Every structure is written in C-alpha cells, then in structure tokens.
Structure 1
Amino acid sequence: MATNTSAAAQPAGVSGATGVRDTPCAAGTWLFGSTADLLGDPLAAYLRARREHGDVVRFRAGPPGLRREIYGVFSAEGAQQVLATEAANFRKDNAIYEELRQALGNGLLTSQDEDYRRQRRLIQPLFTRRRVEGYAASVTAEATALADRWRTGPGATGGTVELVEEMHGFALRVVGRVLFGADVEQTTEVVRDSLPLLNERARARALAPVRLPGDWPTPANRRAARAQAALYALCDAIIDRRAGESRGQARPSGPEGGAEDLLTLLMRAENAEDGSLSRAELRDQVLIFLLAGHDTTATALTFALHLLARHPDEQRRVREELDGVLDGGRAPAAADVASLPRLTRVLKEAMRLFPPSPAVSRLAVADSAIGGRRVPAGAAVLVSQWVVHRHPAYWEDLERFDPERFTPEAEAGRPRYAYFPFGGGPRACIGQHFSTLHSVLSLATLLRAYEVADATDGGAIPLGAGITLLTKGPVPIRVRPRT
C-alpha cells in the first residue's frame, strides 16, 4: 500500500514559512473556471483534482470579477488538521452555513463560538450511550412495521422496493418518533415536502457567484419562504402543546408509551451555567435534528441494502450472524449490536463507499499550510470524505465492496481520519451513536425477514453532492420473504 507523505501541519500565519508551496489549481475554463464541474458532478471533480494535482487543490468558481476560490483537502492528515488539531482556524463562517442558518436557524449544526458551546453543554447529556439506547425499541418497532408492510406488498410476490424513497420515509418516521413521540404522524408529510427544498436551495445559493437577497419576491424565494413557514409552524405548534402538557394539562406521550421523547428532554435541559433553551432555540434544534437525523441515516441504509443485494455471499454471512444472535426470531435490541460485528462492518463499508456527507466546508481564519500547501486567510476550505475514503494511500482496490476493511486490526493500521463519515474534532456529529444504532437495528430487522437481490442489472447509481449525498435516480432491489 502506498504511504502518504503530506508535510506536517504548520501553525497559522505561515506566509513566510520555509517549504510551503503554492497550491495547484484544477483545470477549468478561462471564463468560469471549475464552475460547471462543481455544479454538474462535484464528486468526479474532486477525485480528478486529487489524482492530477495532489492532496490539496485550488478550484476557481465564477467569472472574472466575481470569482471565488475553494481549497479542496483530500488527505486524512489534512482532514484531521482542519477538523480537529487546528479546528479553531477553520470556522463555519462560509456561504453554505450562512444559508443553512437562514433556512433552519442557529442549531448545533450551524451555531458557533459560545452559542455552540452552550448548546452542546445543554444537549450532550441527552445523547449519552445509555440515553440513546433507550430509543432502540422505537427503531425496531418502526422497522418491524416496515417489514410487515413489505410482506403484504412487494414481498408477497418477490417484487421491487425503491430504496431511496422507502428509506427516507422510514428514517423520518423513526427520527420523528424519537423527537416527538405520539406527534410523529403530523411531522412526516411537512418535513418530507419542505426540508429537501431548503437543503437544495442552500447548496445552490452557496455556489452561486451572485446571491440575490433572500427576501426578494422571486419564485425560488417564495417557495423557500412557504417551506420554511410550514416547518416553523409545525415545530411551534408541537412545542406550544408540549409546553402546556408540562404545566400539567396532559402527560407527555413518549415513543414507548410513557418514555420521554427528545423534545420533552430538550425542554427540560438546564444547568446553572447555561440556563435553558429558549423557545426559538428549541425550534432550531428540532429542525437540525430532523434534517441531519433522518437524511444521513436513510442514505446509509439505502446503500447498505443496495450493496448486500449485489453481494449475495456477504448477505448470506450477515444472515448467518443474525440467526446465531437473534435466537427464536426475537427482535434485535440495543444489547445485540456489540454481537453483530459483521453487520456493523457492512454498514461501515457502505458509508466508506457512499458517505452520507460527501464533503464538509470551513472558512480559514488565518494563513495556514495543509500538506505543505499554502491556504490563505479567508479561503473557503472543503474537506471531502468522498475522496479520502477512496485515497490509495489508505485503501486498496478502492471501489471494491469489502467489509473486512473494518476488522479491528485493519482499522488500527490506518490513520484516524482515513474514515470519518460523521466528521470529527470538536464539531463531530453529536448523533453518530444514534445513527449507528438506528442503522444496525433496522438492517438486522429487515434482513432477518427478507432476502434482497439487485434490481438494477448491475448499473451504476447516478449520484450528486449537496449538503448530503444525493441520488439522481432510483435504487431498486427485489425483496423475497425468507422461508
């Protein structure tokens, strides 16, 4: 295996540092630079740039006079520098987070500095391993309901399931149930119609060379305003009702017929240093959890099932593991996850090949050097999981599906940030344990009930990159009940 030779990270303020070289620029057109590549197929553009120019590459986007530069970082060492060791120098002050703040508020994903630290201190106790595992029954109940629905639908005839729509609807129901308990039925339709629109609009506006004011009455702005108003009204109504319940008007109905849902816990979160979350902060956290909590997990489930459908031998080995652990046909529980290492490795390999977040972005505060390349203050910096997860310095036979890459021995032999589907450093995803629990229990439930087979004739799945990984077409599988 090749060895990465990126230069050691250097401190901020390196404009005169010895050995720091200018960053190479990706090829593009004279007029628009790499704009067409970044808008049309950014994943391919990132891979090509690393292959042709190395681990740190500069992209130019937009016409002369309106041109912006984006510095792509494509190594594990560079990712660790940006996200962890020098995280204070790479902030969420860039266009994409500005757009997300406008659309979804100042929650954990978008807040910074003391706002972020205060929110994290208040919310972190709600995401301990013990607390998260308390939601396992909600996950398996929804997964069992999905399996039952397939049994009277496509599963009855060995028919086809379209995974993208199915997994997004399923994941949204799980996250809604964990967040809102008995109010889940009110959330799914509004969220399904509104969040993708705001997500895509934030990405498109962040890349646009000229951004029209968001309050101008353009058709796109009006659609976004309606979507945002629907989401805000939904969350406000549930928060208001829950506030009345907390004053004794009714007992909160949790996801397990009495267990407290996450909204109830958020409303009660308080400490002497930070006080509690305001009503607006509650809504902002709920919206961020709805977006990040269901979209990324749905992507992981979609591609884990897709890959198992294309690899029947691996599917058989997973099913043998499940049959050995889940004796008597019982539903999986949180305690079973540690006993399902093969299924967990399948999930990890699916998120390597199809990372739910294909890239994360930051803004450089001061001059710095990444991998011996100059990154100036004020530069937009993009760290790509899509590329690092395919870097030949860390992975052999890059596109091959091989869950054995994630045995403990194999993981110990790679740099920490050769694999980082949940980000890293002080801004690592607070919900990564819940996402893993959700994914493993859901896959266990479905694979105990069904055999899955590829329904694409081996064709490639067209992909795109927004805030999350996007599929540009269906991902079908055939499902057949196990005998």
Structure 2
Amino acid sequence: MSLIDSQPQPGSAPRTEIPGPAGLPVLGSMLDLRRDSLSTFLNAQRAHGDVVRLEAGPPGLRSVFHAVFAPEGVQQILASQAANFRKDHPLYEEVRQSFGNGLLTSQDADYLRQRRLVQPLFTKRRVDGYAAAVTTEADAVVDRWRTTPTGTVDLVPEMNRLALRTVTRILFGLDTEEAVEAIHRCSPVINAYVVQRGYVPVKVPRGWPTPGNLRARAATDELNALCDRIVADRRAASGAADGTNDEGRGDDLLSLLIAAGNDEDGSLDATEVREQVLIFLLAGHETTATSLAFTLHLLARHPEEQTKVREEIDRVLGDRVPTAADLDRLPYLTQALKESMRLYPAAPVVSRRAVAATEIGGYRIPAGADVVVSPWVTHRDPALWEDPERFDPRRFAPEREAERHRYAWFPFGGGPRACIGQHFSMLESVLALATLLRAHELDAVDQEVSVAAGITLQATGPARVRLRPRERAGE
C-alpha cells in the first residue's frame, strides 16, 4: 500500500493510532534525536507522512510527542487554533528559567500586556530608523575584511559578531563593546544548558552544585547583572525612574522600553525590562546571524546567483549608503535571503502543548500532547518545493509566492505569536548583505556546512569563504 493510500481520507473518523518510527526497543528514537534531530524529523516525514508520533527514552521515563509537517496542520497549531497549543513544552520552561518571562516565553495575560507595551517599538517607521546602525556595523566589517591577512573568513563567527554588535547598538546605544563581549561569552553556555535540559526526561535540580549548573548559573548571573546595571544607569541618566519623563530620553530601544507604558497596562518594571532585553539579545542576534551567514555562503557556492544579486545592488545603490527605502528596491537580494531562510530556518523546530484533543490531518492529537512543527522539514517537502535541496531564489518571485500555502514557508512562525521583530530582521539582513556584497566577491571554501538544532539553528562546522575585495567607487 502506498503512503498516499495509507493516509486518512477526508470525512473519515480521526485515527488514534498515529504512525511513527519504531526506534530501539528500550530507548525508542532517543539516540537518533540526540545524534541528529533534524534528519530524524525529515526521515520520519518521508517514511510516515505529515503527522508522526515519536517516542524517546526508556519505559517509565519515555517522552512522547507528535510532529506535524503539512502546511494545513502548521496553520492549525500556530494560527487558527493557536489558543489550543500553548508554550508549555519543557524547552520553553527552561528558556523561561534562564532568560526570564519575556515575549518569547510569556503566555496569556502576561503575553498580551507585554505585546501591547512593546509593539509600538517595532512599527515600520520606528524600525526603519535603525537602518543607520545596521550599515555602520556592516561597514566596519567591510573595512576589517579588507585587511584580513589570509583573505579567508569563517562566516559563522563573523556574522554572529556583526548581528550581535548591531542589536546591542540598537538596544543600548553607542557603547556596546562590554555588552558584546559578555553576551558572546555567556550566551553559548546558557543555550547549550537550556537545550540539554529541555530534552532529557529526568533533570538534575538547578540548585544542585553540579559543574553544568554552576557554569550556567555564573553565565546567567553575569548577563543579568550587566543588563540590570545598564537599565539602572539609563533610568538615572534620563531622570525617569518611573519611565514617564521624556527629558533626556534616547532613541535606543532600551530607552524606549523604559519609557513604554499606557493607562491600561502601566509600564515595565526593571525586571521586566531586563527580561525583554535578554530575549531581544537572544532572538535578535542568533536568528539574524544564521540568515546572514547562510545567505552569503549559498551565494558563494552559486556564483551565477551572486552575480545577479550584485548587479542589482550596484544598479540600485551605486556608491551610496543603503537606507530603509532600499528594502523594496532590492527584490532579487530579498528572494535570495528568503531562499536561504527556507533551507536554513533559524528556528528549525517549534514546540507547543495541546490543551484539548484535536484532529489534525485526519489524526486525533490527545489532550496534553507535546506537538512540534518544523520549518526544516516543511521547507524541504517535495510536494511543496520542486527539487527542495536546490538553492533557487526565483522560488520567491511574487507570483510564485502567491501560489503557495501561507504556511509552506514560516521562518518567523505565524499567527498571534509570530515574531514581533520580523521586519527588523529583514531590514537588517538586506542592508547588511547589500553592504558586504557590494564590497567583496565571495568564493566558497567549504561546500557544505553541518548544522544542529539548538534553541536556534546552530552551525557545527565552518562556513569559510575566500574574499576578493572590489574596488570602491572613485578608487
């Protein structure tokens, strides 16, 4: 019987026996998921369909979750039935305990209040005002690359530092180096700790003095102390301890967070401001760094596409600095970015927990079930994407986008919990890419880059390119 024949038919009663890999007799799919969770999900979809049940761990401690891959099912979970799928997954609880209860992890009334307070800081007009900070940091990379002794760079750490410097400049203002160094040092420690705890059936209490707990606590305490000091200094400098006085207020995001408030929701206290800052630092630099690194590397591997992108950049910009208005004037660069985000989505797996039993794709998902959707898998479905492993920016021409299901491509999530910073991410990525590609031609040294799923997609190998500086206009 074919895979299509084995799927539930429309109008039939939902099935309760959901297919999935058998795994090992005792551990189920635990070892496969630990070794390579992205390939495990991809193989499960290819073998068993768009709704899959996976089990991991020994009997008595076994985790059971359901993966949903079809766009229609993704839409149910993230949008049309979003209220039934909460962020109660153990991974979100670990993120919450390490980074606080900011927009990424908060729920219910807390989330709605935070969203109302923070949303005005991410309007298009406000975000467009950050363009100069993006190009300033990208220009600094251009200058540094021109003096690289070997002529070769690894795009993964390079783009991580660029995105981190950009978001700290926007958050804190000009004085960013101390924050950059602290985040660069502490963030990987906390991320690894959160992911490890999020997927084990039995957790050592955080309060026990194990080496892992102590390392993570020291890193968390350092970041909290840094943010608390910066918040306190900014409040004192503005003369607005309650966040209501405009005098001395800066345009950086932190000053705006401190000042945010309305009659219904009040304002954010110092702890809430710190928690939002930490989430912005986490989500605002790792995700964009992933998109930048893989877009550049894919263009380096596909020189004909790099040439098309660069010709557009030269035609639109000439020798002037790109601005927010150029976002709509660089359509092919934007298509290349979107195609990179299809192949390497910064959030490759998204977790939820079902409140009530629900039918998805002809199967009954029980109440209380852990459910995941995976851009990594959906973005590679041959039924949705012809030759899905091929890099082809033309997939995102407007007429072709219009033909696809809304949730065939969802790197920013969707529904009421869609990423609040998606316009900022696109603006930063397009302007940074335009600045870097105008100044340098890139030749791929590494043809493939290994990756793994953490809180965000993590490159586990280098993405090196050889730089060929282009002459500046007038030189």
The answer for the alignment partner of 1:368 in structure 2 is: 358
The answer on 1:234 being equivalent to 2:220 is no
Shift of 1:25: 2.3
**Residue aligned with 1:183, SS:** coil
Deviations 1:112-160 (A, max 9, x none): 0000000000000100000000000000010001101111225xx6x11
The answer on 1:171 being equivalent to 2:166 is no
Contact 2:327 2:430 in 1 (8 A): yes
Distance 1:347 1:6 in 2: 35
One-letter code aligned to 2:121: L
The answer for the alignment partner of 1:14 in structure 2 is: none
Give the one of 435, 460, 463 matched to 1:475: 463
**Residue aligned with 1:470, SS:** strand
Give the TM-score taking structure 2 as reference length.
Answer: 0.95
Shift of 1:258: 9.0
Give the one of 2, 23, 29 matched to 1:28: 23
The answer for the alignment partner of 1:143 in structure 2 is: 138
Deviations 1:293-323 (A, max 9, x none): 0000000000000000011111111111011
Shift of 1:182: 2.4
Give the one of 402, 412, 416 matched to 1:426: 416
Distance 1:65 1:117 in 2: 37
Gaps of 5+ in 2: 242-247
Shift of 1:35: 0.4
Deviations 1:70-119 (A, max 9, x none): 11111111110100000011000110010011000000000000000000
The answer for the alignment partner of 1:308 in structure 2 is: 299
Shift of 1:331: 1.0
Give the TM-score taking structure 1 as reference length.
Answer: 0.93
One-letter code aligned to 1:336: D
Give the one of 396, 413, 417 matched to 1:406: 396
Mapping 1:340-355, distance limit 5 Å? 340-355=330-345
The answer for the alignment partner of 2:188 in structure 1 is: 196
The answer on 1:40 being equivalent to 2:35 is yes
Gaps of 5+ in 1: 11-16, 250-256
One-letter code aligned to 2:470: R
Mapping 1:230-379, distance limit 5 Å? 230-247=222-239, 260-327=251-318, 329-379=319-369
Deviations 1:175-207 (A, max 9, x none): 000000023112011101111211121111111
The answer for the alignment partner of 2:46 in structure 1 is: 51
Distance 1:172 1:223 in 2: 22
**Residue aligned with 1:72, SS:** strand
Residues 467 and 385 of structure 1: is their aligned pair in 2 closer, same or farther, counting only changes over 3 Å? Answer: same
Distance 2:79 2:369 in 1: 18
Residues 65 and 21 of structure 1: is their aligned pair in 2 closer, same or farther, counting only changes over 3 Å? Answer: closer
The structure 1 segments of at least 4 consecutive aligned residues displaced by more than 3 Å after TM superposition are 2-10
**Residue aligned with 1:24, SS:** coil
Deviations 1:411-439 (A, max 9, x none): 01110000000000000000000000000
Contact 1:183 1:238 in 2 (8 A): no
Shift of 1:5: 12
One-letter code aligned to 2:385: W
The answer on 1:444 being equivalent to 2:434 is yes
Q: Please, what is the CA RMSD of the aligned residues?
A: 2.0
Distance 2:123 2:10 in 1: 33
Residues 209 and 338 of structure 1: is their aligned pair in 2 closer, same or farther, counting only changes over 3 Å? Answer: same
Contact 2:133 2:169 in 1 (8 A): yes
Shift of 1:18: 2.1
One-letter code aligned to 2:351: S
Distance 2:10 2:284 in 1: 33
Contact 1:8 1:371 in 2 (8 A): no
Highest RCO, 1 vs 2 (Cα 8 Å, sep ≥ 6): 1
Distance 2:272 2:10 in 1: 37
